[in-house]
């Protein structure tokens, strides 16, 4: 979130396959080079429940001061898995195919200046990178080049640069439609800091085909091809934006005439930050980044029932066990993986979300110092590798790989 509070808090507090088994004691260019099981609530120095530590790579190895966003790519040709992690001064590429020996392949430097905010998303074999850096635009990088990296710690160059805007806070991609959606651009741009619609038919040269900003600045969003219970919109492309003080639901199927379906106010708004649909598109799980700071809540997660997209309702509110601030959260099956800053990654069981039963079933805390209400620790988490590996970006400590305990 772009505000003085973030800066003050950040600077005050600092901001298994057979092959895996054979390589458990191999040398890594990170800090951990052996599987550290979660035993008696700890994996080495890290509090945990249900997840083992596979590997880490420090910020020093990547020549960076801070980490931010993280995403993943699986090479369809080789099956290799890669982490793509945002840094203050660029974007890191890490081969995690060998679980305990991740290889830091190198970095794509920032397009202009360093920034604490960088966001990355993947479409096919390309990654799209935005940042809160003046005149940064979108860097496009062909991930297939990672197959041919012979020596680690390379400096990469972008394969494309979109300059239709300067800074952006985030980027969203709907792989089914082939569109990218940068959000959080300048508030006085043509879409009021809302969302730009970019066609990725030519992956290296995104094409602007429209945008939307009737409800103001969009901090983050999810875009889906809808398959939920509201029969009126099955097959429509929906934009669900976190717009600072409300959630907005917009039908963007026709890029020339987006239609606002609803707005979702809720009690005790701090800063409407980010959310994600359940896989059946029935519920939308939202995090508010400043309610813990301003209202004194324990980690608060809001769940909206989206059965009627034109009349969504607040279904349930979950309060976590700590006072840590929630950041990014993603759904995989019946689990919600929540990046919870100083409390690490918390894994919530949403099997009975319809019955308003949400419980924490596991966690891994990369920030063992405390669980205070401050902007330090885990920025984001990516849980979508078929191997079951979970990758984590920690603002202060860098890169982590964890996996569910046997």
Q: How far apart are CA 47 and CA 324, in angstroms?
A: 15
Tell me the two tokens of residue 108.
């794509």
pLDDT digits (tens, 9 = 90+) for 117-126: 999 999 999 9
pLDDT tens-place string over residues 124-183: 999 999 999 999 999 999 999 999 998 789 999 999 999 999 999 999 999 999 999 999
User: What's the pLDDT tens digit per position in 247-258?
Assistant: 999 999 999 999
Q: Which of 279, 292, 208, 283 is nearest to 247 (CA)?
A: 283
Q: What angle do CA 21, 23, 27 make, to 5 degrees?
A: 150
Provide the pLDDT confidence category of residue 245 given band limits of 50, 70 and 90: very high
Q: Whole-prediction pTM value?
A: 0.92
Residues 6+ apart with CB under 8 A from 284: 240, 247, 275, 276, 277, 278, 303, 304, 306, 312
| Four-CA torsion 52, 402, 293, 119, nearest 10 degrees | 180
Q: How confident is the model at residue 4 (pLDDT cuts 50, 70, 90)?
A: very low
- pLDDT over threshold 70, residue 204: yes
Rg of the chain over all Cα atoms, to the nearest angstrom: 20
Which of the four pLDDT bands, split at 50, 70 and 90, describes residue 6? very low
Q: In sequence order, what are the beta bridge partners of 363?
A: 49, 346
pLDDT tens per residue across span 62-112: 999 999 999 999 999 999 999 999 999 999 999 999 988 999 999 999 999
- Can you tell me the distance from the alpha carbon of 203 to that of 374, in angstroms, rounded to the nearest whole number? 38
Residue 293 has pLDDT above 90, yes or no: yes
Segment 252-272 shows an average pLDDT of: 96
Q: How far apart are CA 130 and CA 75, in angstroms?
A: 22
pLDDT at 31: 56
Q: Taking the domain 176-319, which CATH number applies?
A: 2.130.10.10
Q: What is the pLDDT of residue 32?
A: 60
Q: In this prediction, what percent of the chain has a pLDDT beyond 70?
A: 92
**Which band of pLDDT confidence, cut at 50, 70 and 90, is reported for residue 386?**
very high
Lowest mean pLDDT among 147-151, 355-359, 366-370: 147-151
Q: SS3 for 3-16, per residue?
A: CHHHHHHHHHHCCC
What is the average pLDDT score of the chain? Answer: 92
Over the stretch 20-49, which tens digit does the pLDDT of each residue have? Answer: 333 333 334 455 668 999 999 999 999 999
């Amino acid at each position: 979130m772009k505000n003085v509070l973030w800066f003050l808090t950040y600077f005050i507090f600092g901001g298994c396959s057979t092959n895996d088994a054979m390589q458990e004691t191999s040398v890594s260019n990170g800090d951990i080079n052996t599987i550290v099981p979660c035993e008696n609530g700890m994996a080495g120095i890290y509090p945990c429940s249900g997840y083992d530590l596979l590997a880490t790579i420090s910020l020093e190895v990547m020549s960076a001061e801070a980490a931010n966003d993280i995403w993943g790519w699986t090479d369809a040709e080789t099956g290799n898995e890669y982490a793509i992690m945002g840094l203050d001064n660029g974007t890191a590429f890490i081969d995690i195919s060998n679980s305990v020996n991740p290889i830091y392949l190198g970095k794509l430097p920032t397009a202009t200046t360093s920034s604490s905010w960088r966001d990355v998303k993947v479409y096919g074999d390309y990654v799209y990178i935005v940042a809160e850096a003046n005149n940064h635009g979108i860097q496009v990088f062909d991930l297939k080049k990672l197959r041919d990296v012979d020596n680690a710690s390379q400096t990469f160059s972008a394969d494309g640069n979109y300059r239709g805007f300067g800074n952006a806070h985030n980027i969203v991609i709907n792989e089914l439609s082939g569109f990218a959606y940068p959000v959080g651009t300048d508030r006085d741009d043509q879409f009021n800091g809302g969302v730009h619609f970019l066609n990725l038919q030519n992956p290296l040269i995104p094409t602007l085909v429209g945008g939307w900003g009737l409800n103001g600045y969009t901090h983050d969003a999810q875009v889906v091809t809808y398959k939920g219970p509201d029969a009126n919109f099955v097959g429509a492309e929906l934009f669900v934006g976190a717009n600072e003080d409300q959630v907005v639901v917009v039908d963007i199927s026709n890029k020339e005439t987006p239609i606002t379906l609803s707005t979702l106010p809720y009690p005790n708004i701090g800063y409407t930050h980010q959310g994600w649909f359940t896989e059946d598109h029935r519920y939308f799980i939202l995090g508010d980044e400043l309610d813990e700071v301003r209202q004194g809540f324990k980690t608060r997660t809001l769940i909206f029932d989206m059965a009627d997209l034109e009349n969504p309702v607040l279904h349930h509110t979950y309060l976590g066990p700590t006072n840590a601030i929630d950041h990014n959260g993603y759904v995989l099956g019946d689990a919600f993986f929540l990046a919870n800053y100083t409390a690490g990654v918390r894994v919530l069981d949403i099997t009975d979300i319809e019955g308003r039963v949400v419980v924490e079933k596991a966690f891994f805390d990369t920030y063992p110092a405390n669980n205070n209400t401050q902007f330090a620790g885990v920025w984001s988490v990516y849980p979508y590798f078929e191997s079951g590996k979970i990758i984590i970006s920690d603002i202060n400590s860098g890169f982590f790989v964890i996996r569910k305990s046997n």
